[in-house]
Structure 1
Amino acid sequence: MTYPRAFSHVGISVTDLEQAVEFYTQTFGWYVIMPPTEIVSDDSAIGIMCDDVFGEGWERFKIAHLATSDKVGIEIFEFRNAEKRENNFEYWKSGFFHISVQDPDIEGLAAKIVANGGKQRMPIREYYPGEKPYRMVYCEDPFGNLIEIYSHSYELTYSAGAYQK
């Protein structure tokens, strides 16, 4: 029988690991469960696992692990020769393209993202104008990774039929 699995973590790639840890801890209040650490290609268990994932020649990277209040992990990577993508929002291409957080104070969190080096991509929008207070906005971290903010839970927002007329 298929049953719903719990979400464990999300991995984010950045160009400056220490700056990213500071951004996510200061902006979202997430806490560090493993501080920035360098991983090198060798015959250790983690070295072998990384060979399996990244293939030969990755040499080294830095990684930190954060956690949210609801026990979701945020795994942040800084790879050797890391580059910020010119266009990090190629929504028409397959793959993951954002993470989402919930905060009833969307304005405050969006302002905090901007104050800490990120940006707000759009105005705050209502799903049900004049009917229900469910709102959302897309922002970016300082590295161009997209962050969506919801005012209410995912279940409340979509169970009410957000796209139905």
Structure 2
Amino acid sequence: MLPTPRSFSHIGLSVPDLDAAVKFYTEVLGFYTIMAPTEVVEDDSDIGRMCTDVFGPDWKRLRIAHLATADRIGIELFEFDGHQAPEDNMAFRQHGMFHFAIQDPNLEALLERIVAAGGKQRMPVRKYFPDGKPYRMVYVEDPFGIVFELYSHSYELTYSAGAYA
């Protein structure tokens, strides 16, 4: 028996400037702030011990904020001491996550807002079915180099019709 599909809860993103990231993700993408930027330090508090469990000893301090999308998916933003940007922000040949996706029916307008706010368009807007359905997508970066994708329609609609056939 196959397991029941699970709900997606949240994604954690490491950013170099938490305040700027909160501003971008709320003002450009329209996410809600559910917990304002907060400092967490390495100590014996519950959250301090939990972070040590996750990051190991000597993580020192971090700042964190929690945002949410319209469909209640969490966006957890972290600013770590000693943050380093990756040399390759699209290391698609390495296992692990290399992008997430945001859906907006007016993909082009959101793309303009992202670029105007210091983000980057990585490719032309593409149509999955150029002679039929209006499904569009484009890869972008936020102002910090985090790669994500914009979809005009839901994931299910885009792929259920055999997008690559």
SS of structure 2 residue aligned to 1:137: strand
Mind listing any 5+ residue stretches in structure 1 that lack a counterpart?
none
The answer to whether the aligner puts 1:150 opposite 2:151 as a matched pair is yes
1:49 deviates by 0.7
The answer to whether the aligner puts 1:18 opposite 2:19 as a matched pair is yes
1:86 deviates by 2.4
C-alpha distance in 1, partners of 2:80/2:35? 17
The answer to whether the aligner puts 1:83 opposite 2:93 as a matched pair is no
1:131 deviates by 1.3
SS of structure 1 residue aligned to 2:19: helix
Q: How does 1:82-161 map to 2 (within 5 A)?
A: 82-161=83-162
**2:5 paired residue number:** 4
**1:73 paired residue number:** 74
User: How many percent of aligned residue pairs carry the same amino acid?
Assistant: 61
The alignment of Structure 1 onto Structure 2 pairs a total of residues equal to 164
Under a length normalisation based on structure 1, what TM-score does the superposition of the two structures give? 0.97
**2:61 paired residue number:** 60
Post-superposition CA distance 1:12-51 (Å, at most 9, x none) = 0010000000000011111111001010000111111111
C-alpha distance in 2, partners of 1:132/1:83? 41
SS of structure 2 residue aligned to 1:28: coil
**1:37 paired residue number:** 38
1:83 deviates by 2.0
C-alpha distance in 2, partners of 1:58/1:127? 44
C-alpha distance in 2, partners of 1:84/1:26? 23
C-alpha distance in 2, partners of 1:116/1:53? 33
C-alpha distance in 1, partners of 2:94/2:29? 28
Under a length normalisation based on structure 2, what TM-score does the superposition of the two structures give? 0.97
C-alpha distance in 1, partners of 2:85/2:28? 20
C-alpha distance in 2, partners of 1:88/1:7? 23
C-alpha distance in 2, partners of 1:27/1:105? 13
